[in-house]
Amino acid sequence: MKHIRNFCIIAHIDHGKSTLADRLLQETKTVSERDLKEQTLDDMDLERERGITIKSHAIQMNYQHEGQEYVLNLIDTPGHVDFSYEVSRSIAACEGALLIVDAAQGIQAQTISNLYLALDHDLVIIPVLNKMDLPGAMPEEVKDQIEELILCDRDEIIPASGKTGLGVDKILEAIVDRIPAPKGDPNAPLKALIFDSVYNSFRGIIAYFKVINGEINSGDKVKFVHTGKEYLADEIGVLRMKQEPRKSISAGNVGYIISGIKEAKEVKVGDTITHTNDPTKEAIQGFEDVKPMVFAGIYPVDTEDFEDLRDSMAKLQLNDASLVFEPESSMALGFGFRCGFLGMLHMEIIQERLEREFGMTVITTVPNVSYHAFVKGSEMVIVNNPTDLPEPNHIDHVEEPFISAQIITASEYVGAIMGLCMEKRGVLKNQVYLTTNRVELVFEMPMAEVVFDFYDKLKSISRGYASFDYHPIEYRDSHLVKLDILLNGKQVDALSAIIHRDKAYEYGKKICVKLKELIPKQQFEIAIQAGIGSKIIARETIKAMRKDVTSKCYGGDITRKRKLLEKQKAGKKRMRQVGSVEIPQSAFMAVLKIND
């Protein structure tokens, strides 16, 4: 155990985490030059394209230092706020962390919040100043930031470059010298922390774990404490470039277990593995059942594809337990699913995976958060779909989730960002100058306000020099109303939204204008109205189409024209109908483009 080192990497997107990780694998000869695809650790196509890690990964390296062989386990963590619980579990499996900071960009919000997580878990931090090769590198300034942040010695900071290989040897030495070996009792009952799981279509769910105490052997009968389920450890092993089976894995080390589990939801990140016969007395602290933060309806474009969509969602859930869904039906969209996601990025990923991996084209409704409606003289109702909000006269009050948002930016953008956050109902809680030019702002604001139209605005007003991170704090009473959209007097359920009362008028007006652009003219006039209860607060009118017939149809036009009308018919089949009004799919996402 004393020759094992477990560490993770804390870095902001684009600060070069994956490239540097690849260098470590190369230097320790874990991977040959030839096999080194760029960013070996990110294996989903989507991850490589977006340059971020969505799932956690783990890889084991061997490293010779002063005549002694060490086992280094690198536990890679997701790089996005949507997945912060997974990050916390990966951190809990480590004794040390590399803090990678881009020498040109400095410390970002995401880095800081993950750094605090690591410090909370008493991890030893090795600061690394990456991308030293860049012409825009400002090592002295960024060193100041790091020094101030982790109160380290300036010379503890390792200058490095994933591109040139600078500092890679120093990093490996520091891992061995500075990070302590794991502490654990190899003779105590088995206690292992699940920090991730992956899905393999042949072998089922593979769980990644770190053994805290005891030892796990191939063929052992094991129990997952929180789910209460018992399994046979069909295969255990370590994670190198491939999975390498082992007979046993003991305290301090990291490995995988295959035990014929079919569904991802049986393997919960943060759960404890123990022996059925000689169980540990207490489970590992910090387990949480992750709850979705953002909800949206997903419907098949072609109503006949509902069953296919159900199958696809079920398959996705096999390897992504954080996706939750239940069937729902909409007057406008037919049958579909109300889905819960960890955040907006997670929602986009699910949508893209449905399209790429399952060939499904779907309509996604406008995302919303989960509300708590307190009904007079009755109990609380959880509202994940705006149409489920009880009638206004039955409601005592409604609560919505609030977050603590952390924004780090350059001082010249502070004014604009404060303006934005206040417009989004944010309240400034703290303002700290990290250096003379870098400011950390902390706001409390409703989660609903950052769900859409926030990141993009933040980026544009700060010209990209603002990083953003958040965590949920609590539910708070807000003056919320349900805004309905009506087309010729008929409500379009899929367009209803829960919104703060003070914003309802402006929002109602904007969405009516947007819908006017998106809904094609029909033979009759279409009234687009926004209303709260029975009160109409905005209206737009689409004038009737006066003519829909082409002038010429002679011998040479007949075939072309027939095909054109057949195509129109097929297009119309993809539209949705509310009353007599036909609505194109794009209209259901209208709110997202409301400020275009």
Interacting residue ranges for another protein, rule: CB under 8 A: 523, 545-556, 558-559, 561-562, 565-566, 568-570, 572-573
Measured from the CB atom, the residue of 471 and 543 that comes closer to another protein is 543
User: What are the strands, taking DSSP E only, across 201-247?
Assistant: 204-213, 215-217, 221-224, 230-232, 235-239, 243-246
Measured from the CB atom, the residue of 202 and 554 that comes closer to another protein is 554
Q: How far is the CB of 581 from another protein (least distance, A)?
A: 14
Sign of torsion, CA 83 84 90 96? Answer: positive
Measured from the CB atom, the residue of 154 and 572 that comes closer to another protein is 572
Sign of torsion, CA 190 194 195 199? Answer: positive
For β-strands 395-410 and 294-300, DSSP reports them as: unpaired
Measured from the CB atom, the residue of 278 and 566 that comes closer to another protein is 566
Q: Give residue 414's identity as a one-letter amino acid code.
A: V
Scanning the structure block, which residue is given the tokens 């949480």? 288
Q: How far is the CB of 560 from another protein (least distance, A)?
A: 10
Strand-pair partners of 358: none
The encoded tokens of residue 468 equal 């953003």
- Beta-carbon count within 10 A of 432 CB: 10
Q: How far is the CB of 552 from another protein (least distance, A)?
A: 6
Instruction: Tell me if 458 sits within 8 A of 466, measured CB to CB.
Output: yes
Measured from the CB atom, the residue of 277 and 568 that comes closer to another protein is 568
Measured from the CB atom, the residue of 67 and 555 that comes closer to another protein is 555
Enumerate residues 6+ apart whose C-beta is below 8 A from 35.
Answer: 241
Measured from the CB atom, the residue of 247 and 552 that comes closer to another protein is 552
Measured from the CB atom, the residue of 479 and 562 that comes closer to another protein is 562
Burial 332-348 (b: 16+ CB within 10 A, else e): bbbbbbbbbbbbbbbbe
The encoded tokens of residue 259 equal 């035990």
Q: How far is the CB of 524 from another protein (least distance, A)?
A: 9
Measured from the CB atom, the residue of 377 and 555 that comes closer to another protein is 555
Measured from the CB atom, the residue of 227 and 577 that comes closer to another protein is 577
Instruction: Tell me if 236 sits within 8 A of 217, measured CB to CB.
Output: yes
Q: How far is the CB of 596 from another protein (least distance, A)?
A: 23
Q: How far is the CB of 303 from another protein (least distance, A)?
A: 15
Q: How far is the CB of 558 from another protein (least distance, A)?
A: 6
For β-strands 438-446 and 380-383, DSSP reports them as: unpaired
Query: How far is C-alpha 569 from the geometric centre of its chain's CA atoms?
Result: 39
Query: Which SS3 state, helix, strand or coil, does residue 506 take?
Result: helix
**DSSP H or E run through 296:** strand 294-300
Q: How far is the CB of 495 from another protein (least distance, A)?
A: 25
Query: How far is C-alpha 96 from the geometric centre of its chain's CA atoms?
Result: 24
- Beta-carbon count within 10 A of 573 CB: 11
Q: How far is the CB of 304 from another protein (least distance, A)?
A: 13
Instruction: Tell me if 217 sits within 8 A of 229, measured CB to CB.
Output: no
Instruction: Tell me if 477 sits within 8 A of 399, measured CB to CB.
Output: yes
Q: What proportions of the chain, in percent to the nearest 5, are helix, strand and coil? A: 30, 35, 35
Annotate 525-565 with three-state secondary structure. CEEEEEEECCEEEEEEEECCCCCCCCCCCCCCCHHHHHHHH
The encoded tokens of residue 254 equal 């990291």
Enumerate residues 6+ apart whose C-beta is below 8 A from 95.
Answer: 5, 6, 7, 123, 124, 179, 180, 181, 182
Q: How far is the CB of 493 from another protein (least distance, A)?
A: 23
Instruction: Tell me if 99 sits within 8 A of 10, measured CB to CB.
Output: yes
Measured from the CB atom, the residue of 380 and 545 that comes closer to another protein is 545
Q: How far is the CB of 543 from another protein (least distance, A)?
A: 9
- Beta-carbon count within 10 A of 277 CB: 11
Measured from the CB atom, the residue of 432 and 545 that comes closer to another protein is 545
Q: How far is the CB of 329 from another protein (least distance, A)?
A: 22
Q: How far is the CB of 369 from another protein (least distance, A)?
A: 41
Measured from the CB atom, the residue of 281 and 569 that comes closer to another protein is 569
Cα–Cα distance for residue pair 270/93, rounded to 1 Å: 10
